[in-house]
Each structure stands twice: as C-alpha cells, then as structure tokens.
Structure 1
Amino acid sequence: MKYILPLLTLCLFVLPVSGQTESFTERFYDSYETYREPSLGKRRIKHADIQPLIDALAVKPGFEVNRVGTSIEGRPLRLISLGDGQTDIFLWSQMHGDEPTATQAIFDILNFLGAPEFADEKSRLLDSVRLHFLPMLNPDGAEVYQRRNTLGIDINRDALRLQSPEGQTLKRVRDSLEAEFGFNLHDQSTYYNAERTPKPATISYLAPAYNYEKAINEVRSRAMQVIGYMNRIIQRYAPGQVGKYNDDFEPRAFGDNIQKWGTSAILIESGGYPEDPEKQEIRKLNYVSILSAIYAIGSGSYRNVGLEAYEEIPENDRKLFDLKIEQVTYPLLGKDYIIDLGIHRFEVDTPDHEDFWYSSRITDQGDLSTYYGYETLNASGYRLGAGKVYSQVLPNLEAVGKLDFWELLGQGITYVRVADLPKKATSTPYPIQVVGASFELPEPRWDVGDNPTFVLTREGSVRYVVVNGFLYEPDSRKGSGKNSMILR
C-alpha cells in the first residue's frame, strides 16, 4: 500500500485536471517514439552527432546552453539547462566514451521537454526543478569508442587529483550548481545478470557509498529512495531485469565523492537486453526511468518510498553467456565426456569506429550449471564435432555470396576456401567461415579461447551448426548471425 500512495500522488501531480486516469509512466512509455531522437540510431555516436542537436536547443525558448569546458583534443563540453525551480538536478553521461546509451536517452528527454504536448504538466514540473544536462563528458573517447580519455585515464577515477580537463569540468559544474541530485549515467557489460536468475541486468542502479563504512546519511538516503522508486517503475517493462551494483567505497570515483560532497548521487547502468545489440530498448527504459525520477523529485513523492525498496533490488552477478550449450558429448582421445560450453561474442570496431563485427570465443567449459545464456541449447544426446571444408576453392568473396548456405550448413560445412582474399578484410556477413586457399582443418579439440565453430550431430546427422558463436539449425533454417570471420 505504501508504494501505491506515492504513485497516486505523482499521477495527481502530472495528470491534467481533465480527470484522465492513465498512469504517467505509461504515457512516457507509450509516447516514446514521438520524442525519440532519430539521428542517434546506433551506439557509436560521436561529438559531431550531438552538436547540431545542442545548437538547436540553444535557440529554443526556455533552454539555456553554456560551454563549461573543453576536452583534451579541444571538443567543447556544453551544459544544457532549463526550469526555474529551487531543486537543481544534474545529469551527466558518457564519462566513458564507449558507454553512449544514456546520451541518446538524454536527447530523447530533451525532445520531450521541448515539445508542445503536456504543457501544463511540464510547466508545473519546471516550476519545481531546474535541470542541467552534460551529455558526452568524454567526447575524445567517444570518437574512437574507447572507455578512457585521450590522456589514457578513466575519468571516473579522477575525482581526487582532477588530472583531466573533463574531470575538472565535472567537478566545477557540480560545485557551481550545488545540485541536490546527480545522475551518473553509464553502460555496463551485457553479461551481468540479476543475481541467481537467468535474466540480464538490463538496468542497474547504485546509491554509492561516501565512506568505507557505507554509512547512510540524508544525502545517500535520498538517492536510495529515488532508486527504489525507479525500480518499481522499470519492473513494469523489464520484470526481474534490474540489478544493484556493489557499494564498496572507491575513494577516487566521482559518484562516491559527489555523494560525499552533498549531492545525492544516483548511478544508472545500461546492461543487456535480448536481441537488442544497439541497446535501443534499453535506451527507452532509460528515458522512462529518468523522466519518472525527475517527476518524482519534482513532486517530492520519492520521499514516501522506504529504504527497503532499494535494499530488495538483487545484486549484479556476471554469469551470462551469449550462447550456452549444455550437456554436449565431447569425444576426446577415444573417450566420451559430457561438458557445457559458454560462448561470448566480443565486439571488434571497424577502423572508422562507426560499426563493429564479432570475434567469438569459448570463454568457459565444463560444469556451467550455475550460469545462464541469452540463448541456451540443451545438447543432451548430441555429439560435438568439427565442421567440414567446402570441396572447391572459390576465386573471391563475391563467389562465396552466391552459395546456398543452408545447404552447406546441412552438410556440416563450416569453412569455404577463397583464393583471393582482400588484405584488410576481417569478416563477412555470411554464416560460414572464409579461409585461405591453403587452409587445413584443425584437430577436433576445443578449449577456452578457441573460436566456437563446430557441428552437433545426432545419430550421424548434422542437427545444429555453430559458426563464430552463432547457432544455426539447418533443417528448420533457423538462426542468424551478424558475421563470420576471415581466417588466413
């Protein structure tokens, strides 16, 4: 009952007097596509992608844009502010250059706040709060899609020495605003799961500790209450897919120190979601989660959420594979063994950092009964075996593209030899590994670190094929993958 009351309070705060009873979070969720920023459709966004959007906001009534700093390579860091309320809320994103999901969501939120719809509700909100957004704190890292900045340091470990201009900017803005709330927006590994469940930790939260004792004062308590509220909202759209970070105190971290400096720090991490490699569904959840929190702060209704709502969030665990194969028979040196295989698909950036391809690996094998997979195959009764090499040597990649891949996979063929391989090519979109003309099939043994390319047979027939970590079922023609590899 204590969670229903704040929700009703919020509905009264944001809904028009017309008596409309629709939940405010459902309105955010259902109308999302109206405000989604279409120019930011992929994760690998760069500084040049967001600058026109900020320029447009600079001339929009009600918005204020100020240059507050410069990156090492000279890219401007700009703060976007709006609202006239007494409660300052500061949100910053992408202090790690390869963590862009919340940057995209920030521009979705800004589109919502600048749109003509829900004018009365937004007017009441912006009379209560003043919002400040600092998107893409590490634009140099974003340019090459890397975590660290050009100096080679992790900005999120620079709160004490302030060695980087980006860290100096974050500290200066925090101090100038004296914001009551701060949202520290990140991405986390897609391999985190909610503890003891097969569900990915799609969104993870943390109210960082401000000392080694992990004490809870009023500042940290406020952060916990807001997180408890957001978790209740996100459970509607991603039930069981929320985790909580370990709260061990890290004296160099910005989140921990911002909590210590008197701003209620709220960490939001975007993890994984099934069949969402570009994290666009998670972007939407960020939009809903952050907007809901802003409205809860504006109305004060977060104060009605008990700290137990925060404590009940399960901790993050890291026990997810992209593909888990269970109980497969592995013939080795004349004997049969039953093992599990855990496979991860690792992203490799293209040279322009605009896209990526997968280089997959077996990352664990043996008893993986306490682990989970985004995709899991029970392979009891199936035998692990090497794939075959296509009988012909093809002249080029164009000839490879003309093959009937399902027919080849059904025969257990996983490699095609090509005489003229492009020197710089590393991958192809085809569901088969491309190799040089002199390629010889390796010994049928598999170990951690190997590329997962093999067949699973039953009663002598090929039933499943794994190529570069992607699972295919030839008989039903099910399965798809982003790429295979070119092996020389």
Structure 2
Amino acid sequence: MKRIVLVLIGLFSFSLMGQSENITTQLFDSYDNYKENSIGKRRIKRADIQPLIDKYSNYKKFKVNKVGTSIGGKDLSLISIGTGETNVFLWSQMHGDEPTATQAIFDILNFFDSSDFKTEKDAILANLTVHFLPMLNPDGAELFQRRNLLGIDINRDALRLQSPESQTLKRVRDSLDADFGFNLHDQSTYYNAERTEKPATISYLAPAYNYEKDINETRGNAMKIIVFMNDILQKYAPGQVGRYNDDFEPRAFGDNIQKWGTSTILIESGGYAEDIEKQEIRKLNYTSILSAIYTIAKKSYEAISIDEYEKIPENDRKLFDLKITGATYNLMGNTFTIDLGINQVEVDYPDHNSFWYSSRVLDQGDLSTYYGYETVDASGYTIKQAKAYPTTLNTFEEVKALNFKDILKQGYGYVPMSTIPLKQVNSPFPVHLIGKKYTVPELNLMPGINPTFFLEKDGKIEYAIINGFLVNLKESIINVPNGMIFR
C-alpha cells in the first residue's frame, strides 16, 4: 500500500511538472505578444517607465502605490496583482546599471493584463498576490551607474539602512511578510559557466542566511525554485547557467531577506552572444520568472530535490570579448608566442542614453584557461604595428570617402586630420583619428592599452584589430562601431 501511495505522489508531481513545462514553452513562443517595446534599450530611466506605471494605476486588477522616494526625489512604486494568501515580491535595479529584469517586469505585467492564458492566470492570481517594485535605484539608472546618489551600494545597506531606497525595500518586505522574493540583477557579461566557454547568461543564488550556510525550509524552497528555473533555461540556453558562491554576506539584502523568512532567489542576467542590449536575456527572464511564479502557485516545486542545486556549475569569470591565441610577437629583437584577451569597454555619452567603445587589452600571455565570445587562432600570424595614413585630411567627408578595407590591408589604422572638432569624442569610422601633431607610439603590448594592430601571414595582412574589434580582411563586412580620437 505504501508503495502505491508513493507511486501516486510521484505521478502527481510529474503531472504538475509537465504542466509547468507546457506553459513554459507557450510563454517562450508567444513572448513577442507581451514584450513592452517602449523600453527596448538598456539605458532606461524612471521617466521611461512612469507612463507604464501610470497605465497600470488606471486598471482595476492592479494596485499601484507609491511606497517611497529616492534621494533624488524620484518615486518608488509597488505594483500588485492577485488575491491569494501567498505573497511573491520581485524587486529590480537596486543597481542603476542593471536594467534587464526591469524590462522583463513590464513584459510580465503585460502578460497579466492580457486575456490570454486564462486558466494559468486564474491559478496564479487565486493562490498568489504578486508584487513588483521595478527600478529601486532610479537615481543610479539616470546616470547608468551601480550606486545611488549617496555613493553607496544599496545591496550592502541592509543593516544600517542609510539610504531611503534601502529603507523602502525593508519596509515593503516586512509589510508584505513575503513568502517568496526575487532579487533581480545584472552581472558582468564576462562571467562563464565553470570550466566552459559558455557565458553565464543567467546565474542564480539561494543566499545563505548565516555563516554556516545552513539550509532550512525557507532557503530550501528557494533552491527548489532555482532548480526548476535552471531546467527551463537548459532548453533555451543549454550550459549557460551559473551559480554564485553562497558565502554569507551579513550586509546584503538577499542574505538578510532570506534570514527574515522570505525564500529568496537571486537572479543575475549576464551575457549572451550578439545580444548587446540583452533582449534575448530579457526574454529568458520573462519566461523563467513567470514559469516560477506558476510553479509556486501550483506548489509543484515542493517535489523537487534540492540535491540538484549543487550540480549547477559555479560562476567563473574567464571570458573576453575577443581572444587571440598563439600570435607571434616581436619585441626587442626576440620572437615570442602570446595570447591576448581583449574587452570592448562601454563608455557612456554625457546624457547616459547611449555609449561608445574604448577597448582595452585585459590580459596577455598564456590564456589557455580563458575563453572568448570570439576567438581567433593566430598561429602562424605575426602581430604588426598599425601605421598612420600618409595624407592629412581636412574634413569628416574626406575621411568617409576613404576605402577603409584597402587602407586596412595596407596596415593603416590611424588617419591624421588637420582639425578634429572638440565636441567629437570618438571616431565614427573603423580607424582612429589623430591630430596632425600626434605621433603614433611604437606598439608595446601591455594590459590597459587600446588594442589596435594587424595580423600578418606570409607577408600579407589578413586581419585588423581596431579598437578591440576584429576585421577579417578576406570578407566584405567591417564591423567596428567606432574608433578612437588621439589629439
């Protein structure tokens, strides 16, 4: 009899997991119906989401309340939906330059506002009340910076509660006495899943609530939800999930919210190939978070084993934007074999609405344990100095008229100009612009320099690296978003 009961329980659990898998597929496939297209770039600001918040404040099914104010005077709003006894609390962008989940929250709100998925939504909203606090750090978002105007990391302010944003988060969590919490962040795109070349597109953590890293029911439930979400993501981003180190951080909100009795799931949105604005990762957030909310409503997570949590690969940080391996480098009359790790570093324009690139060599030497979003085997190629074009040009129109592929093939990476407008902060061309008195320094490869050089084989230049971007000169496309200006 006992065996029959266990089999029935197993079949029931399998049935619920099957239901969750089914809704996940439907959510992923229908995502474009719910995507909030008005916020399609990463550098979103409070003014961008205010009309969306206002919209939901006019709908009866949603409750919208101002719950606080940032140091800079910007409103902090809580958007709630549902009538269930179980409270699920999601907050995003406590770091101002981490907006991916904020965008996904408004996609999720569009889902709840639609007439689709009626059966699933009825189950969610009858069993749960779901609360969203998007953009906890609107002042940081305005400047696209991690910290708030006090200059502190809100996620290290759970004890002192120095900033009003921290006070708001604590007060809302306590007033809801939330059963589940989703702490939504972005992480560096240079994290990879441990010992693989795959980026950690999404990373998870069920934060520890003490130094001993004990697992009670609260933390165990968070682990079960993470196992569930990882299974979902393996379908759409196989091998691209990481797990954060769970050392206890007594100042962090995630660790403390876990300690205060809310099953807390940290989600970090990392990198995905050719997804600069993280819109594919946004879709993965939408799909996995909504699926997790559904499994909480159905309680199907309860049957999941937490043993699977530790099997998720740990986060590592061994990715470069461009990795060049085995290149020949001549220095002081000697020949060396060298690997280069290059990152394409974003620099914000003054309005913090968009950016340009000022790339850097991050590391060099033996990089055999590192990986690249793009990797070039440069065995048999020699690194060559980039030269200055022999003619000084007067206008941008003259520069634009150059055949860039031809001049790159000749080894020219710099173009001198008689006058460069002071307001111009970078070169809009796949070459660097230099002042007429500027002398191109001798190439001395070191971490920190701007990576601009050529790869030559059998006396022929086949690749250009301009501002850290690779140009295959055997192909017609030159994909260099911008060069530098050296006056």
Alignment TM-score > 0.5, same fold: yes
In structure 2, the partner of 1:285 is: 284
Equivalent of residue 8 in structure 1, options 5, 11, 15: 15
Letter in 2 for 1:88: N
In structure 2, the partner of 1:153 is: 152
In structure 2, the partner of 1:459 is: 458
CA distance in 2, matches of 1:228, 1:185: 17
TM-score norm. by structure 1 comes to: 0.96
> SS of 1:222's equivalent?
helix
Tell me whether 1:137 sits opposite 2:123 in the alignment: no
Letter in 2 for 1:236: K
What aligned pairs does 1:436-475 form with structure 2 within 5 A after superposition?
Answer: 436-475=435-474
CA distance in 2, matches of 1:132, 1:418: 56
Q: CA deviation at 1:260?
A: 0.3
Tell me whether 1:192 sits opposite 2:199 in the alignment: no
Deviates further, 419-428 or 292-301? 419-428
In structure 1, the partner of 2:4 is: none
Q: CA deviation at 1:406?
A: 1.2
Letter in 2 for 1:317: D
Letter in 2 for 1:41: G
Q: CA deviation at 1:51?
A: 0.5
Q: CA deviation at 1:405?
A: 1.1
Deviation string 1:168-216 (CA, Å, 9 cap, x unpaired) is: 0000000000010000000000000000000000000000000001110
Q: CA deviation at 1:399?
A: 2.0
Q: CA deviation at 1:4?
A: 9.2
Cα gap change, 1:188 to 1:24, in 2 (>3 Å) = same
Q: CA deviation at 1:322?
A: 0.4
The answer to whether the 8 Å contact 1:69/1:165 transfers is yes
CA distance in 2, matches of 1:241, 1:160: 33
CA distance in 1, matches of 2:148, 2:13: 41
Letter in 2 for 1:9: L
In structure 2, the partner of 1:165 is: 164
Q: Higher helix share goes to which structure?
A: 2
Letter in 2 for 1:165: P
In structure 1, the partner of 2:206 is: 207
The answer to whether the 8 Å contact 2:123/2:298 transfers is no
CA distance in 2, matches of 1:301, 1:483: 50
Q: CA deviation at 1:7?
A: 5.7
Q: CA deviation at 1:442?
A: 1.3
In structure 1, the partner of 2:61 is: 62
In structure 1, the partner of 2:111 is: 112
In structure 1, the partner of 2:375 is: 376
What aligned pairs does 1:328-347 form with structure 2 within 5 A after superposition?
Answer: 328-347=327-346
Q: CA deviation at 1:5?
A: 6.7
In structure 2, the partner of 1:365 is: 364
CA-based RMSD: 1.5
Q: CA deviation at 1:6?
A: 4.4
> SS of 2:359's equivalent?
strand
Q: CA deviation at 1:428?
A: 2.6
Tell me whether 1:307 sits opposite 2:306 in the alignment: yes
Instruction: Specify every segment of 5 or more residues in structure 1 that has no aligned partner in the other structure, as ranges.
Output: 15-21
The answer to whether the 8 Å contact 2:120/2:294 transfers is no
The answer to whether the 8 Å contact 2:450/2:467 transfers is yes
Cα gap change, 1:4 to 1:207, in 2 (>3 Å) = farther
> SS of 2:373's equivalent?
strand
In structure 1, the partner of 2:220 is: 221
In structure 2, the partner of 1:483 is: 482
In structure 2, the partner of 1:269 is: 268
Letter in 2 for 1:417: P
Tell me whether 1:388 sits opposite 2:391 in the alignment: no
The answer to whether the 8 Å contact 2:192/2:316 transfers is yes
In structure 2, the partner of 1:17 is: none
> SS of 1:221's equivalent?
helix
Letter in 2 for 1:277: I
Q: CA deviation at 1:8?
A: 3.2
The answer to whether the 8 Å contact 2:386/2:414 transfers is yes
Deviates further, 403-412 or 107-116? 403-412
Q: CA deviation at 1:438?
A: 1.6
Deviation string 1:375-423 (CA, Å, 9 cap, x unpaired) is: 0000000000101211111112232122111111121211111111111
CA distance in 1, matches of 2:419, 2:326: 40
What aligned pairs does 1:14-53 form with structure 2 within 5 A after superposition?
Answer: 23-53=22-52
The answer to whether the 8 Å contact 1:10/1:301 transfers is yes
The answer to whether the 8 Å contact 2:430/2:478 transfers is no
> SS of 1:69's equivalent?
strand
> SS of 1:463's equivalent?
strand
CA distance in 1, matches of 2:360, 2:10: 45
Letter in 2 for 1:8: S
In structure 2, the partner of 1:183 is: 182
Deviates further, 409-418 or 317-326? 409-418
TM-score norm. by structure 2 comes to: 0.96
The answer to whether the 8 Å contact 1:10/1:299 transfers is no
Deviates further, 370-379 or 119-128? 119-128
Instruction: Specify every segment of 5 or more residues in structure 2 that has no aligned partner in the other structure, as ranges.
Output: 1-6
CA distance in 1, matches of 2:435, 2:12: 67
> SS of 2:389's equivalent?
strand
